[in-house]
């Protein structure tokens, strides 16, 4: 009799400990996220100027993004994500300098949506950050894409002399682009045990995002065969959010980026491990 009772109590305890519930107290997400968002500094995003960029001067960038003023030009160097962290001064020794300007996050979104380009990892504001290298305009209606750099060379002028309305193709593209989705890891080392946890944290998400499975991968070889690459690998649970929600999530959580298969492509996924406590105190539940 006593043995049956002990087994029943042990089983109940095991089920409670392994239930897919949040480790954070109910209602703690909203106040913590709101307090942090109210005090966080504006996020600035680096954009590469000169070289292979379609923008040869900060004035080109201002004209394209319709910025209120010309962003300042600074120098940096390309780096890699790993090792992380590392010494910036030592890492930059002997490397070719890159010119960069910076824009706010929404301007960076619009720039990536309306230009063809690649992402590089650079030093920016003392951190390793992703910088956008725009190479050419995206055009609608099957028009040939032409780089601003080539057009500047044809004009034989070292400065931007763009007439008002020169960049009119970018609003047309933004009006027809599909919404970008960004994967977030659920379960395992993630602070979110369920998609409901993520929805409760990001209160601006109107509904619970769907849960799917994927596997971790590497950037190389690229593009790679998804079915063959995933064979025998441990599965990860992921859900997805829009771009603004993803950036807000990265701003108010500590975590790391992993490369996973998402929508048939190799994509960066955010693995949030704990809330950032700047400007607020996060209370946890038992």
Q: pLDDT per residue over 90-133, tens digit each?
A: 888 888 899 999 999 889 988 988 899 898 889 999 888 899 99
| Confidence at residue 5, expressed as pLDDT on a 0 to 100 scale | 64
Q: Which of 130, 153, 176 is the last residue of a domain?
A: 176
- The edge-to-edge listing of strands for the beta sheet with 265-275 is 212-215, 235-242, 181-186, 265-275, 253-262
Task: Give Cβ neighbours of residue 206 (< 8 Å, ≥ 6 apart).
Answer: none
Check residue 78 and report its DSSP letter. B
Q: Which of 176, 191, 212 is the last residue of a domain?
A: 176
Higher-pLDDT residue of 116, 282? 116
Structural domain range at position 118: 44-176
Is 237 in the same domain as 155? no
| Confidence at residue 158, expressed as pLDDT on a 0 to 100 scale | 44
Mean pLDDT in residue range 75-88: 81
Residue 188 lies in a domain: yes
Residue 282 lies in a domain: no
Is 166 in the same domain as 119? yes
Residue 80 lies in a domain: yes
Mean pLDDT in residue range 65-90: 86
Is 186 in the same domain as 156? no
pLDDT at 282 over 50: no
Give the pLDDT band (50/70/90) at residue 6: low
Is 60 in the same domain as 79? yes
Higher-pLDDT residue of 38, 18? 38
pLDDT at 196 over 70: yes
Residue 2 lies in a domain: no
Is 71 in the same domain as 160? yes
Compute the distance between CA of residue 259 and CA of residue 270 in angstroms, rounded to an integer.
9
Is 58 in the same domain as 149? yes
In Å, the largest CA–CA distance within the chain is 94
Instruction: Residue 49: name the closest of 33, 65, 37 by CA.
Output: 65
Residue 84 lies in a domain: yes
Would you state the structure tokens that stand for residue 61, as one six-digit string? 């960038």
The distance in angstroms from the start CA to the end CA of the chain is: 31
Give the pLDDT band (50/70/90) at residue 205: confident
Is 155 in the same domain as 221? no
- This prediction's pTM: 0.47
Higher-pLDDT residue of 262, 25? 262
Half-sphere exposure of 97 (CA within 13 A, CB side): 6
| Confidence at residue 242, expressed as pLDDT on a 0 to 100 scale | 87
Higher-pLDDT residue of 226, 35? 226
Give the pLDDT band (50/70/90) at residue 220: confident
Compute the distance between CA of residue 122 and CA of residue 128 in angstroms, rounded to an integer.
6
Would you state the structure tokens that stand for residue 273, as one six-digit string? 């491990």
pLDDT at 167 over 60: no
Q: Considering its fold, how many domains does the chain have in total?
A: 2
Give the pLDDT band (50/70/90) at residue 70: very high
pLDDT at 268 over 80: yes
| Confidence at residue 284, expressed as pLDDT on a 0 to 100 scale | 35
Instruction: Residue 211: name the closest of 33, 20, 32, 14 by CA.
Output: 20
Is 109 in the same domain as 169? yes
Q: Which of 160, 176, 192 is the last residue of a domain?
A: 176
Residue 65 lies in a domain: yes
Would you state the structure tokens that stand for residue 225, as one six-digit string? 């065969």
C-alpha torsion angle, residues 87, 89, 95, 99 (rounded to 10): 110
Give the pLDDT band (50/70/90) at residue 135: very high
Residue 218 lies in a domain: yes
Is 217 in the same domain as 201? yes
Compute the distance between CA of residue 185 and CA of residue 189 in angstroms, rounded to an integer.
9
Give the pLDDT band (50/70/90) at residue 156: very low
Residue 13 lies in a domain: no
Give the pLDDT band (50/70/90) at residue 280: very low
Give the pLDDT band (50/70/90) at residue 1: low
Is 196 in the same domain as 185? yes
pLDDT at 191 over 60: yes
Is 183 in the same domain as 171? no
Is 87 in the same domain as 188? no
């Amino acid at each position: 009799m006593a043995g049956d009772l002990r087994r029943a109590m042990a089983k109940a305890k095991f089920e409670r400990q392994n239930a897919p519930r949040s480790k954070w107290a109910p209602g703690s997400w909203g106040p913590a996220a709101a307090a942090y968002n109210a005090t966080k500094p504006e996020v600035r995003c680096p954009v590469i100027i000169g070289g292979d960029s379609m923008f040869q001067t900060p004035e080109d960038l201002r004209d394209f993004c319709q910025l209120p003023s010309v962003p300042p030009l600074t120098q940096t160097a390309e780096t890699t994500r790993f090792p992380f962290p590392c010494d910036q001064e030592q890492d930059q020794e002997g490397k070719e300098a890159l010119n960069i300007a910076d824009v706010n996050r929404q301007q960076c979104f619009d720039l990536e949506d309306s230009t063809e380009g690649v992402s590089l990892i650079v030093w920016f504001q003392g951190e390793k950050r992703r910088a956008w290298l725009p190479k050419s305009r995206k055009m609608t209606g099957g028009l040939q894409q032409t780089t601003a750099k080539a057009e500047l060379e044809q004009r034989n002028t070292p400065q931007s002399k763009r007439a008002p309305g020169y960049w009119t193709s970018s609003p047309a593209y933004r009006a027809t682009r599909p919404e970008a989705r960004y994967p977030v890891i659920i379960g395992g080392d993630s602070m979110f045990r369920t998609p409901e946890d993520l929805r409760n944290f990001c209160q601006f998400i109107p509904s619970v995002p769907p849960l799917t499975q994927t596997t971790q991968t590497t950037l190389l070889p690229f593009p790679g065969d998804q079915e063959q690459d995933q064979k025998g690998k441990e599965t990860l649970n992921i859900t997805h959010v829009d771009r603004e929600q993803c950036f807000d999530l990265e701003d108010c959580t500590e975590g790391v980026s992993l490369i996973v298969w998402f929508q048939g492509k190799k994509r960066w996924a955010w693995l949030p491990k704990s809330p950032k406590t700047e400007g607020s105190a996060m209370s946890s539940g038992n």
